[in-house]
C-alpha cells in the first residue's frame, strides 16, 4: 500500500490525524496535561525568568549529557529529586519517551522477560521492542495473571522486568503498587518498573506519586516521572539505585546520543518542583474537579484523567467537534492509541479550570448525549 493509499484508508476509517491549530482559543481546555495549572502561573514564570537572567543561563546545552560543559543546573535538579526520593539516585532525560525507550532498552535484553500491563504507554512498548527482550502482557491490572506468567515463564530467563504505570494515561485508573511489590518479593530475579508520568505532581505526599504514597520506594527498582505534565516544563527523570544510574549513563542510548536539556529548562523544572511541593490546595482542587466530571460524564472513575468511551472513530471525532463548537475542547482518542472499539473522548483536567467551565461542559455534554 502506498503512503497516499494509507492516508486515504485512515481518512475513511475516521483515524486520520492532523496537528491542531489554535482554533477556538476561548474554549475551556479539557485535553491538557497541565494538571496543576502551572503553565500560566505568573509567580513561577517571574521567578524562573529572574533566576535565569541573574545567572545568565545558557539557552542550550549545546552537547549531549556526556559532553556538555554546562551541567550545574542539571546536577541541581537531580540532587533535588534525590533528596525528595529518600536519597535514591536520579537521572534526567529529555522526555518521557526518551526515558522509557532508553531505560527499558538498556535494562532488558534477550535474557530478560518483560511482563507488562496491557495498557502501558506506547513509549514503553517501543522500549521493549528496542531491547529485543521477550514480552508477555497481562490483562490490565490483573496481577494474578502477571504472577502466573512469572511462575510459568520466568525460570527460563536471567531476569524478569515488570512494567506498569501508576496512573494510566488513557483510562485514569491506578496500579496497586503494594501488591506489585509483594509479587516482586516472591521472586529474586524480578525488577519492578513504575512509570509515574501522570501521577507525579498530582498524587501522593507533596505530589511525589503513588509509589511514595504506598511507602514502597525501596521496593521499586525504577520510578519514572515527567516534568512536561503537572510541572508545566519539559523533560523526565528516573530515580533508582546508584548502580542502575551508572549503568544507564553508560547504556541508555536516548541519553548518550541526545543533546542534553538546556540549563534554563533544568532550572525551571527545579523551581517548579519546589513550587509544586507545597501546593496541596491545587491537588485538592483537582480532586474536586474530578468528582464533578465523574458526575457529568458518568465515567465511573474519579481521576484527573477520565475516558468517555464512544466506540467508533467517526462518532468520536464528531462529538469532539460539537463540544469544541460549544466551548469545551476535548480531543478524540482513536486507534492505534487505544484498541479498536474503545475510541473515546479523553478528559484531562487542570486545577486552573473554573466552576463556570464545568457548568458549561455539563450543559453542552447533556445536549450532545441527548442528540446522539
Q: Which of these is catalytic: 32, 33, 94, 233?
A: 33
> Is 198 among the residues known to form the active site?
yes
Scored b (16 or more CB within 10 A) or e, 126-142 reads ebbebbebbbbbbeebe
Q: Which of 34, 165, 171, 357 is catalytic?
A: 165
Active-site option among 29, 82, 98, 229: 229
277: cell is 511541593
CA–CA dist 233, 283 (Å, integer) = 18
Residue written as cell 464528531?
A: 318
Judge whether 165 counts as a catalytic residue: yes
Cβ-based neighbour number of residue 21 at 10 Å: 7
Catalytic residue among 98, 184, 198, 275: 198
169 catalytic, yes or no? yes
Longest CA–CA separation in the chain, Å: 60
67 and 61 in contact (C-beta within 8 Å)? Answer: no
User: How far from 324 is each of 24, 143, 222, 329, 363, CA to CA, in Å?
Assistant: 7, 39, 39, 5, 13
- Three-class SS state of 141: coil
> E-assigned strands of the chain?
28-29, 89-93, 112-117, 134-138, 159-165, 190-195, 222-226, 236-240, 305-309, 328-329, 332-333, 344-348
User: What is the distance, to the nearest Å, from the Cα of residue 138 to the centroid of all Cα atoms in its chain?
Assistant: 20
Burial of 257 (0-12, 13-18, 19+ CB in 10 A): exposed
Burial of 336 from C-beta contacts in 10 A (0-12 / 13-18 / 19+)? exposed
Q: How far apart are CA 60 and CA 92, in angstroms?
A: 15
Q: Are 84 and 208 in contact (CB under 8 A)?
A: yes
- Which member of 31, 73, 82, 121 is catalytic? 121
Q: Which of 171, 195, 196, 343 is catalytic?
A: 195
Per the annotation, the verdict on 229 as an active-site residue is: yes
**Catalytic status, residue 195:** yes
Q: Out of 32, 82, 169, 269, which one is annotated catalytic?
A: 169
Task: Name the nearest CA neighbour of 29 among 311, 370, 249, 347.
Answer: 347
Catalytic residue set: 33, 121, 165, 169, 195, 198, 229
Amino acid at each position: 500500500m502506498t503512503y497516499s493509499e494509507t492516508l486515504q484508508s485512515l481518512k475513511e476509517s475516521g483515524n486520520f490525524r492532523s496537528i491542531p491549530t489554535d482554533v477556538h482559543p476561548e474554549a475551556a481546555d479539557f485535553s491538557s496535561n497541565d494538571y496543576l495549572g502551572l503553565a500560566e502561573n505568573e509567580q513561577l514564570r517571574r521567578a524562573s525568568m529572574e533566576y535565569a537572567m541573574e545567572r545568565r543561563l545558557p539557552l542550550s546545552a549545546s552537547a549531549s549529557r556526556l559532553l556538555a560543559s554546562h551541567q550545574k543546573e542539571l546536577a541541581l535538579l537531580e540532587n533535588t529529586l534525590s533528596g525528595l526520593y529518600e536519597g535514591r539516585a536520579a537521572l534526567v532525560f529529555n522526555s518521557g519517551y526518551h526515558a522509557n525507550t532508553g531505560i527499558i532498552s538498556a535494562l532488558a535484553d534477550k535474557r530478560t522477560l518483560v511482563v507488562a500491563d496491557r495498557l502501558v504507554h506506547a513509549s514503553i512498548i517501543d522500549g521493549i521492542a528496542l531491547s529485543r527482550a521477550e514480552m508477555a502482557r497481562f490483562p490490565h491490572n490483573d496481577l494474578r495473571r502477571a504472577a502466573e506468567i512469572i511462575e510459568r515463564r520466568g525460570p527460563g530467563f536471567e531476569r524478569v522486568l515488570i512494567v506498569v504505570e501508576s496512573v494510566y494515561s488513557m483510562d485514569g485508573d491506578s496500579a496497586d503498587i503494594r501488591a506489585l511489590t509483594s509479587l516482586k518479593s516472591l521472586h529474586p530475579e524480578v525488577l519492578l518498573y513504575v512509570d509515574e508520568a501522570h501521577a507525579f505532581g498530582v498524587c501522593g505526599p507533596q505530589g511525589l506519586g503513588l509509589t511514595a504514597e504506598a511507602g514502597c520506594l525501596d521496593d521499586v527498582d525504577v520510578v519514572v516521572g515527567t516534568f512536561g505534565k503537572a510541572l508545566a516544563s519539559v523533560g523526565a527523570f528516573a530515580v533508582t539505585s546508584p548502580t542502575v544510574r551508572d549503568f544507564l549513563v553508560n547504556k541508555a542510548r536516548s541519553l548518550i546520543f541526545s543533546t542534553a536539556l538546556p540549563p534554563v529548562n533544568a532550572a525551571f523544572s527545579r523551581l517548579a518542583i519546589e513550587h509544586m511541593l507545597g501546593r496541596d490546595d491545587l491537588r485538592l482542587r483537582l480532586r474536586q474537579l474530578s468528582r464533578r466530571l465523574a458526575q457529568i460524564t458518568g465515567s465511573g472513575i474519579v481521576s484527573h484523567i477520565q475516558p468517555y468511551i464512544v466506540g467508533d472513530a467517526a462518532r468520536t471525532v464528531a462529538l469532539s467537534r460539537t463540544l469544541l463548537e460549544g466551548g469545551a475542547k476535548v480531543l478524540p482518542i482513536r486507534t492505534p492509541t487505544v484498541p479498536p472499539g474503545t475510541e473515546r473522548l479523553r478528559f484531562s483536567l487542570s486545577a486552573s479550570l473554573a466552576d463556570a467551565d464545568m457548568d458549561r461542559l455539563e450543559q453542552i455534554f447533556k445536549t450532545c448525549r441527548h442528540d446522539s
